Amino acid sequence: MTLEGLAGRLRRWLYAAGTRQDRLRDPDAVIAVLDLRPGMVVGDLGPGAGHFTLRLARAVEPDGVVYALDASQSTLDDLRRAADERGIATLRPVTVNRDRLEIPEPVDVLFVSATYHHLPEPSKYFAEARTHLRPGARVAILESRREGLLAGWLAPHASSPRRVLREMTDAGYRLIATHDVVRGYWFGQFELA
Ligand SMILES: C[S@@+](CC[C@H](N)C(=O)[O-])C[C@H]1O[C@@H](n2cnc3c(N)ncnc32)[C@H](O)[C@@H]1O
């Protein structure tokens, strides 16, 4: 093994988590993984500033819909303005409770980026979310990796991939793919089991 490979292994052993910059560096690579088509209905849980959301909204144009599902009204107001400035008509902001998903209609894809760790009881949340999914729908979770000896202290905004897998399995989902496209992040897609 090269010195570089050894250093990478050591780093992951001590601390494996990605930063915000890591996540936002190549948003098109993240969107490409989702394999979206015009006309699809997508939910973006916790859209934040909309770095991914606006691209999702473009990907389903002209007749699809992206529901931006956030607990923060001001976040959604900013996002609405950003969509309007860009002439994006496929975005629908929806204010949601922190512990329960609500979407005006079932979705083909539910995208959850850097938001999983905010959910109070993920297993319960995603078990209840099953009714908001269309047949064949996917739940895509992009989450900073809380792995390594120091990650518990250094990566508060992260989750252990093992825990995500266990909780999603408990909620009634099956992992169908993982994607190594964002440094320090676990990116997995689930369907109903
Ligand atoms: C770290 S930001 C992620 C933003 C974006 N998805 C990204 O990857 O850059 C988390 C977002 O989730 C929202 N949020 C936090 N807890 C939530 C919850 N329980 N339900 C819905 N939205 C939540 C916050 O208001 C914020 O907009």
Cα–Cα distance for residue pair 21/30, rounded to 1 Å:
14
Across residues 164-192, what is the average pLDDT? 97
Is it the case that residue 151 has pLDDT exceeding 90? Answer: no
Name the residue of 70, 117, 159 whose CB sits within 8 Å of the most ligand 1 atoms, as the mutation to test its pocket. Answer: 70
> Model pTM?
0.95
Cα–Cα distance for residue pair 17/35, rounded to 1 Å:
25
The confidence score (pLDDT) of residue 77 equals 98
The residue whose CA is least distant from atom 16 of ligand 1 is 118
**Confidence at 51, pLDDT banded by 50, 70, 90:** very high
Condensed to tens digits (0 to 9), the pLDDT of residues 112-139 reads 999 999 999 999 999 999 999 999 999 9
With contact defined as beta carbons under 8 Å apart, do 185 and 144 qualify? yes
Q: In terms of Cα–Cα distance, which of 39, 38, 71, 69 is closest to 52?
A: 69
With contact defined as beta carbons under 8 Å apart, do 47 and 70 qualify? yes
Cα–Cα distance for residue pair 110/45, rounded to 1 Å:
7
Ligand 1 center to residue 75 CA distance, Å? Answer: 9
The confidence score (pLDDT) of residue 69 equals 98
The residue whose CA is least distant from atom 18 of ligand 1 is 98
If you count DSSP H runs as helices and E runs as strands, how many of each does the chain have, helices first?
A: 8, 7
The residue whose CA is least distant from atom 26 of ligand 1 is 48
Ligand 1 center to residue 112 CA distance, Å? Answer: 8
Is it the case that residue 11 has pLDDT exceeding 90? Answer: no
116 by DSSP, 3-state: which? helix
Name the residue of 34, 45, 117, 118 whose CB sits within 8 Å of the most ligand 1 atoms, as the mutation to test its pocket. Answer: 118
Bin 191: left if φ > 0, else alpha if -120 < ψ < 50, else beta: beta
The residue whose CA is least distant from atom 8 of ligand 1 is 113
Crossing angle of helices 122-129/161-170, nearest 10°?
50
Place of tokens 């979206």: 36
The confidence score (pLDDT) of residue 98 equals 97
Cα–Cα distance for residue pair 11/147, rounded to 1 Å:
10
Whichever domain contains 109, its CATH number is: 3.40.50.150
Condensed to tens digits (0 to 9), the pLDDT of residues 92-119 reads 999 999 999 999 999 999 999 999 999 9
Condensed to tens digits (0 to 9), the pLDDT of residues 152-162 reads 888 889 999 99
Bridge partners, residue 190, by sequence: 139, 175
- In ligand 1, the atom with minimum distance to the C-alpha of 51 is 9
The residue whose CA is least distant from atom 15 of ligand 1 is 118
Neighbour-count burial for 126-147, b at 16+ CB within 10 Å, e otherwise: bbebbebbeeebbbbbbbbbbb
Q: Which residues line ligand 1 (CB under 6 A)?
A: 23, 45-48, 51-52, 70-72, 75, 96, 98, 113-115, 118-119
Q: How many domains does the chain have?
A: 1
The residue whose CA is least distant from atom 20 of ligand 1 is 98
Domain of 173? 3-192
